[in-house]
């Protein structure tokens, strides 16, 4: 979600855009997402700087949600529908916090109890 917000907000689905633009919703971005973006930027797969990430978070009015030990322990019960370790952390965090995830990744929908917006 954060990459779309930074580089191509026009790619959001109608449902995701509506949810993100509703001032009643609290927008939280996982620190795991920022870590994944940092790794991909270091590898040259993305051209996003730390300043661009800070600006994007501020522009969309989002706050960072830290990844905690409780989130890590949530991962023990996750089925292996998704094998990407960053995405698994985000899934565990969203389930533990009972918050929806904005993503076009269809693997997220395989997790019972996870609300996916796209």
Q: What is the pLDDT of residues 21-33, one digit of tens each?
A: 888 989 999 999 9
Number of residues written out for the chain: 118
For residue 75, what are the domain limits? 2-117
**pLDDT 10s digit of each residue in the chain, 118 long?**
666 655 566 777 788 778 878 889 899 999 999 999 999 999 999 888 999 889 988 988 899 999 999 999 999 999 999 999 999 999 999 999 999 999 999 999 999 999 999 8
Residue 12, Cα to own-chain centre: how many angstroms? 13
Q: How far is CA 42 from CA 39, 49, 52, 94, 117, in A?
A: 5, 10, 14, 26, 29
The confidence score (pLDDT) of residue 23 equals: 86
Q: Which phi and psi (to 5°) does residue 48 adopt?
A: -110, 130
Within 8 A by CB and 6+ apart from 87, the residues are 105, 107, 108
In the chain, how many domains are there? Answer: 1
Is residue 12 within a helix (H) or strand (E), and if so which, with residue range?
A: none
In which residue are the tokens 């019972």 written?
Answer: 112
CATH number, domain of 6, equals 3.40.50.1010
């Amino acid at each position: 979600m954060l990459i779309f917000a930074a580089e191509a907000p026009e790619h959001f689905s109608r449902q995701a855009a509506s949810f993100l633009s509703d001032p009643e919703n609290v927008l939280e971005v996982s620190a795991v997402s920022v870590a994944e973006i940092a790794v991909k930027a270091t590898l040259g797969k993305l051209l996003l700087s730390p300043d661009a990430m800070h600006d994007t978070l501020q522009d969309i009015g989002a706050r960072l949600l830290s990844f905690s030990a409780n989130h890590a322990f949530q991962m023990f019960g996750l089925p292996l529908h998704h094998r990407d370790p960053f995405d698994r952390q985000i899934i565990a965090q969203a389930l533990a916090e009972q918050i929806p995830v904005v993503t076009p990744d269809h693997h997220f929908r395989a997790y019972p109890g996870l609300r996916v917006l796209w």
